[in-house]
Amino acid sequence: MDSILSVFVPIHREGYKYIGVFLVATILLFLMDLTFLTSIGFILTLWCAYFFRDPDRVTPDREGLVISPADGLIQSVGPAVPPAELDMGTEMCTRVSIFMNVFDVHVNRIPVDGTIVRQAYTSGKYLNASLEKASEDNERHALLIKTNTGKEVAFVQIAGLVARRILCWAEDGQEYKAGERFGLIRFGSRVDVYLPVGTNSQVCTGQRAIAGETVIANLKSREKDRQGEIR
């Protein structure tokens, strides 16, 4: 029973209207006796339900941990200047970029316990989110959260080649726990996390991350950037 329930995970409410549209279209195609198109419509309806799945996650509960805000591939880990729109200065810090393909869970989660102190939406292009320049050129929504120890962590939702809508319901001044849901991006995209200066990552390029569960850094650790290889 647990195995069955793990497959039929909850669907985020944002997906209901899309699933409904595909389902109605599929029924109409069936009534018109268009068998091939009906099959395509059925597959698209199932895919849409799969795309908007919103499973619960078990978030590590320890002060100082930075948790992945997105499911996906750790595309890059390296030095970068924080987003200019967040007024964090120009000193280089470690940026972890997580790329979400159309088959990943797209509900985004808060990376660290703290209070949202600043947000900034920037309109832009819809380049492939895997490109380096997508961080500066694409449509994005940047957030800055401050922990109770004064550390600041920035994270940015970035639209991609297919994505055409960034949703963020986080509120300025609101306290959040790591792992809490704060947004969603449709369809396929990327989330960048900017760690405080002097904080290194605990994930490697090419690794898969799970939103709300994978530890990408420890604000209380001085461990060097973690290295890994495909085996």
The encoded tokens of residue 112 equal 């660290």
Geometric angle at alpha carbon 187, from 209 and 50, rounded to 5°: 75
pLDDT digit of tens for each residue in the chain (231 aa)? 455 445 567 887 877 888 888 889 899 988 888 888 899 988 888 887 877 888 899 999 998 999 999 999 999 999 999 999 999 999 999 999 999 888 888 899 999 999 999 999 988 776 766 667 667 778 899 999 999 999 999 999 998 776 567 889 999 999 999 999 999 987 668 899 999 998 999 999 999 999 999 999 999 887 777 778 777
Exactly one of 68, 189, 201, 221 is catalytic; which is it? 189
Structural domain harbouring 175: 65-218
Q: How many domains does the structure of the chain reveal?
A: 2
Please check whether residues 100 and 13 belong to one and the same domain: no
Please check whether residues 46 and 91 belong to one and the same domain: no
Give the predicted TM-score (pTM) of the model: 0.85
Please check whether residues 41 and 145 belong to one and the same domain: no
Region class of 158: left (phi > 0), else alpha (psi between -120 and 50), else beta: beta
> Quick check: is 189 catalytic?
yes
Contact 130, 75 (CB under 8 A): yes
Contact 162, 179 (CB under 8 A): no
Please check whether residues 124 and 180 belong to one and the same domain: yes
**Residue 94 maps to which CATH number?**
2.70.70
